[in-house]
Structure 1
């Protein structure tokens, strides 16, 4: 495992800044990407393919990247490459501002996001086993902070400077992240027994990894289909301007940052981890039921606090719980599997929801999303009760 030659007191700030620039580069153009492509007279089907390419490339690459990271233990290299690809993607958007350029760019952006495994595993290695949830919350807060800054930037500047300047911001942030990553020096990996690919893939049998990967598939799929997509469409249909749509996204991301911060404090101790998980899914289901029913832009914006909590607390817990029983030398592979599974949700849920919307209605699409949340709520509640029963039997015996 890599050890950074940076004083402990500066590690977290350096890493936080690096992560913020990385995710700013990845998301600053996202709120207006669909609008830009449709105004460029690109068909809606092709726009869907372009946007889907981001999730599909992650789905394909995340497990192989995780395996390679475990085999090499060189997380710094993956961080450098990921930051470079994040910036290079927007260079393609600037040089080829059409369907081909954006398709190539989204594939590169997906490749960059696949390297997030190394960001997470390396950062979590700075913390003890008992502090893994706090570590996960902190790095997800950095993730959400970068996205929030990106959304704020595009909300206030898109109508003034246009998509190409926004993409230039993305390019600049990616290059800054890439340069910063070169200053992170690492010692040689500690000597460990060689582990083969087949042995690494055995982590897929871990029941916690399987369960929480599937739950994350629902959480990320619902997030992508609602806050990143159809919730904005509902607000627009209610008469919202581009600025208001941007503010709605900012409320969601600000909520995600704040709840991720709370998840790294004693606030999390108000409930058990299992209770937070099934309660969050219940609230997400209620959110999906309420958003298409209301006729108020203000209420929809207020409801954005709920998926923000889902991203800030629920997703943090799903990450930490998924790999808590995985040995350190196999964690990149486990994280690669976890991220590949939830990338499947990010890709398929918007497609399924869009199809339901086209053939039935927006309310039916959100009803489908609510149903998946309630299924996740039931599964996590049942699993929690079984775990409590097992623990009680052990104490009695």
Structure 2
């Protein structure tokens, strides 16, 4: 195995362990909180805490990473916090501590900037979209494994075991991250003017806004209220696990699809518009689903759409920036989509509390469809979707 291949394998392993630790207890968090007689609005705030810290930290972390020029230290911090945040849930189970723990988990996810850019650096610049598609697939493999093993552990040992499992995998990733070879690029001369120029880039602004809506839709549905809706229809713990597994599996396939020739044969505008259209179908389907079995094909549709969107938008976000500005661009992009992670479950919780589940998911479907139409109508910005 060559040096570059060993680097890819090591970081791929760490990436899978990291996202396993972050997501292994997610499918059972919202139903658990609702079982404590906490209102849907408060549950939305707790789940949204995960996005709050990302919203606050991603841009500063991107700037700091560009200045320091070393991704290793941030990956070490991220994997460590992924394990510690879940341990806090074991030690302190109050709603306030759940909020704090989820916020700390958000700090860990803020370091995803370094995972994506370090992995991309192991490929030629011309393979940027392919590299982002692959690392996003690795992210979703970790999430899929978390849902599979998490469902088994939850059924056999209870929900508490999931937080222990998260801690173990987080610490395993932390130990392996110590063996990453530090970059040799050194510090870069990042100025205030260059930072403002990056964040005023029209392409980056538009793509970041679209990314924000993707995560708004996902965290308002699949990662929060889809499971509680399925449970109300009589879904068992095993069925809830299958729902997440199907979504994650198709997320992986969608992310990988972006790196294939088939995807490149389509325009990026078409890929993005189609992804949002699939999310619209998913949300509308959940809104009217009369029985649990409807959720299974819907996860296939929504998962593929979400996977395609997360990979392709991230690739576009950093494509045209020099190496010393990529972390800032990625930090800005991920900070904006953190708005979606934060407000998706909060808005959905408010809608559920004051209206019906059907109305709430229908609103999400309308938002997704509006994004698809927006992309198709942006003929004057067609350069945004130009293949390079």
TM class by shorter chain equals over 0.9
- Runs of at least 5 residues in structure 1 that lack an aligned partner in the other structure: 1-5, 392-397
Describe the SS at the equivalent of 1:277. Answer: helix
Q: CA deviation at 1:261?
A: 2.3
Does the Cα contact within 8 Å between 1:95 and 1:101 map onto a contact in 2? Answer: no
CA contact (8 A) 1:31 1:228 kept: yes
Tell me if structure 2 keeps the 8 A contact 1:353–1:368: no
1:221 aligns with one of 216, 219, 222:
216
Q: Conserved in 1, the CA contact under 8 Å of 2:27 and 2:227?
A: no
**Partner SS, residue 92 of structure 1:** helix
C-alpha deviation, 1:11, in angstroms: 1.9
Deviation at 1:196, TM superposition (A): 2.0
Question: Which secondary structure does the structure 2 equivalent of 1:291 belong to?
Answer: helix
The alignment partner of 1:342 has SS state of helix
Match for residue 260 of structure 2? 265
Aligned counterpart, 2:91:
95
Return closer, same or farther for 1:82/1:136 CA change in 2, 3 Å cut-off.
same
CA distance in 2 between partners of 1:101 and 1:198 (Å): 40
Is contact 2:250-2:300 (8 Å) kept? yes
Does the 8 Å contact 1:75/1:119 carry over to 2?
yes
Is the counterpart of residue 343 in structure 1 residue 363 in structure 2?
no
Which shifted more, 42-51 or 173-182? 42-51
For 1:301, the equivalent position in structure 2 comes to: 296
Rounded Cα–Cα distance in structure 2 between residues aligned with 1:350 and 1:188 = 41
Pick the aligned partner of 1:256 from 251, 255, 261.
251
Please report how far the alpha carbon of residue 353 of structure 1 lies from its aligned counterpart in structure 2 after TM superposition: 2.1
2:17 pairs, out of 11, 14, 21, with: 21
User: 2 CA distance for matches of 1:134 and 1:236?
Assistant: 38
* Whole-angstrom distance in 2 between the partners of 1:310 and 1:318: 12
- The answer (yes or no) to whether the contact 2:71–2:183 under 8 Å persists in 1 is no
- 1:289 and 1:100 map into 2 onto residues whose CA distance is 33
Name the residue aligned to 1:247: 242
* SS across alignment from 2:180: coil
State the Cα distance separating 1:42 from its structure 2 match: 5.2
Partner Cα separation in structure 2 for residue 45 and residue 386 of structure 1: 38
Q: What CA distance in whole angstroms lies between the structure 2 residues aligned with 1:188 and 1:137?
A: 25
Question: Does residue 153 in structure 1 map to residue 146 in structure 2?
Answer: no
Match of 1:318 in 2: 313
1:384/1:324 Cα in 2 relative to 1: closer, same or farther (>3 Å)? farther
TM-score, normalised via structure 1 length: 0.91
- Give the structure 1 partner of residue 228 of structure 2: 233
Shift of the alpha carbon at 1:385?
A: 6.5
* Distance (Å, rounded) in 1 between the aligned partners of 2:56 and 2:50: 10
Segments of structure 2 that go 5 or more residues without pairing to the other structure are: none
1:276 aligns with 2:271: yes
Aligned-residue RMSD, C-alpha = 2.1
Deviations 1:233-273 (A, max 9, x none): 22222211121111111110011112222322223134122
Q: Give the count of matched residue pairs.
A: 385
User: What is the rounded CA distance, in whole Å, between the counterparts of 1:354 and 1:377 in structure 2?
Assistant: 24
Asked if the contact 1:248/1:304 (under 8 Å) is kept, the reply is yes
What is aligned with 1:170?
166
Q: Where do 1:351-366 residues align within 5 Å?
A: 351-366=346-361
Match of 1:394 in 2: none
Q: What is the TM-score normalised by the length of structure 2? A: 0.93
Which stretch of structure 1 is more off in the superposition, 336-345 or 352-361? 352-361
Judge conservation of contact 2:287–2:359 (CA < 8 Å) in 1: no
